[in-house]
Structure 1
Amino acid sequence: MDAVESVARAAVAEAGTRLRAAWREHKVISFKGPVDLVTETDREVEALVIGHLRRAFPAHQIVAEETASDQPDNQQPTWYLDPLDGTTNFAHGYPHFAVSLAFAEGGELRFGIVHDPVRDETFVAHRGGGASLNGAPISVSPVSDLNQALLGTGFPYDRRERTDYYLAFIRRFLQHSQDVRRAGSAALDLCHVACGRFEGFWEWKLRPWDTAAGVLIVREAGGVVTDFTGNPFSLRGEQTLASNGHVHGAMVEVLTAVLGQGRG
């Protein structure tokens, strides 16, 4: 695992340097869908990180957003890479995005790292070894009342077609929490649960590269990750609910109440 961490840290540090240098520059943007965009920097940083991984671990599988296969053999050593989580923010010069990298073996997440190049914050977790921010241990918030909780969320790429349905979840949480934030990077939202900035986070239709590192970081910081109904989380499931654990049951109640109203 020392080699895994060493290579991952080097790759993510170089990726962060590239992102920090590029985010104020003119962006070459293309669209994968009506609201799903990609920049040249996404592809450049993905190639950079994959290069580090291929040189060090040529037999490992890589699941990445822009180029690599997303159908791995789960029992083989596998990397999950989002080279630029928060592409829309990055493309508009909004300073909230990250590079996210996780390693799994035997179907279990073993190591995760998320780097925020604007704030120069690096979140790291080892399975069974805790979580840290810039080398200092982190833990989730002690807040136990959902009414005092600050929550994060995001919108999936079909939000134009299902706007009212997704807003129903936000509407309900606005009635039962202190407030809700939609910052635009699921990886950072998960890390912000882990370090106590958020008490909880929910989002539909995230992909494995969005969540793998952040989920491990939340768990190792003492948090809980499930689907919206409280059942076990799956990297390939449609629902991600992460919390400090203390407000998890209350969040499940809110989510299931909206789910019970139908898909709108």
Structure 2
Amino acid sequence: MHPMLNIAVRAARGAGSLIARAFENADKVEVEAKGSNDFVTNVDKDAEQTIIYTIQKSYPKHTIIGEECGIITGEDNDYQWIIDPIDGTTNFVKGIPHFAVSIALKVKGKLDQAVIYDPIRGELFTASRGNGAQFNNARVRVKAHKELAGTILATSFPHKQKASTDAYMGMFKDLFLKAADVRSGSCPSLDLAYVASGRVDGYFQMGTKPWNTAAGELMAIEAGGLVTDFTGGHNHSKSGNIVAASPRLTKEMLTVMRPHLSPAMKL
């Protein structure tokens, strides 16, 4: 295992242990509203600090970008850690056991290492640039579907972008009619990890943030998948609109989605 991936795994497991203990003691979880339909808990903050401490202990000069902490600029900005201590906070708050720790490392602007850890199931997804993706240390690949028929897709509803509901529901309807099923788990990192490991065949979502998707993006790519924005470009980290699947399936998904794109989605 790459040394930096090893540190990321250690950080994810440490945060995951804290999160799993807190999940069993829901009455001690303190919830705050950051914005409309956007929540943070004391556990998010404590888990993030656990991750930051573990990374900085080994790499004190690296930059860290976190959902809660913002940007901690280090002396060596060529190395940027992108972390989400609990991707799926609302699930965590509601007692739904579907959330994950997400940690990615960019080196000179390119995704290089990735960890997604599900602390409830004890499932570890990892990827290193050029060395593939793994689930619990076993190599995984995306399912090489050539068409939507018979596929299972993953998504999450745009609860922070309700003004785009009509466009999203148009995409959802047309994809649903062609696929076998579409499922919503409200945890982008796990959706992407599930694409990489073949548990679902494709994924699309509107309004994601880099800390939700950075680790999963590298996993999907290293597992043989393609990750794009809604137009087939590479603006997903800025637009928040993301599609992931095998190359052939991504192309078909984009074709189905295209008639429903607003002008803003094409930027």
TM-score using structure 1 length: 0.93
| Structure 2: distance between partners of 1:129 and 1:262 | 36
Aligned counterpart in structure 1 of residue 209 of structure 2, from 207, 210, 224: 207
> How many percent of aligned residue pairs carry the same amino acid?
35
The answer to which structure has the higher helix fraction is: 2
Tell me the number of residue pairs that the alignment of Structure 1 and Structure 2 aligns. 263
Q: How far apart, in 2, do the equivalents of 1:99 and 1:186 lie?
A: 11
Structure 1 stretch displaced more, 2-11 or 121-130: 2-11
**Corresponding residue for residue 4 of structure 1:** 4
Gaps of at least 5 residues in structure 1 are none
Aligned to 1:152: 154
Give the structure 2 partner of residue 110 of structure 1.
Answer: 112
Alpha-carbon distance between aligned partners in 2 of 1:32 and 1:174, rounded to the nearest angstrom:
32
The change in CA–CA distance for 1:39 and 1:246 in structure 2 (over 3 A counts) is same
CA distance in 1, matches of 2:245, 2:235: 12
What are the superposed Cα offsets for residues 221-263 of structure 1, whole Å, 9 maximum, x if unpaired? Answer: 0000011111125422332111122311110101111116988
Residue aligning to 2:251: 249
Q: What does 1:1-264 correspond to in 2, within 5 Å? A: 2-25=2-25, 26=27, 27-69=29-71, 76-259=78-261
Distance 1:139 1:82, change over 3 A: same
Q: For 1:233 and 1:74, how far apart are their aligned partners in 2?
A: 25
RMSD: 2.1
**Shift, 1:196, TM fit:** 0.6
**Taking structure 2 as the reference length, what is the TM-score of the superposition?**
0.92
Q: Does the 8 Å contact 1:194/1:244 carry over to 2?
A: no
Q: In the alignment, is the contact (CA less than 8 A) between 2:167 and 2:261 conserved in 1?
A: no
Letter in 1 for 2:130: G
2:101–2:116 Cα contact (<8 Å) kept: yes
What is the CA-CA distance between 1:2 and the residue it aligns to? 3.3
| TM-aligned CA deviation for residue 40 of structure 1 | 0.9
Checking the alignment, whether the CA contact within 8 Å between 1:74 and 1:106 is kept in structure 2 is: no
1:50 and 1:112 mapped to 2: Cα distance? 15
Distance in 2 between residues matched to 1:234 and 1:253, nearest whole Å:
17
Residue identity opposite 1:222 in structure 2: G
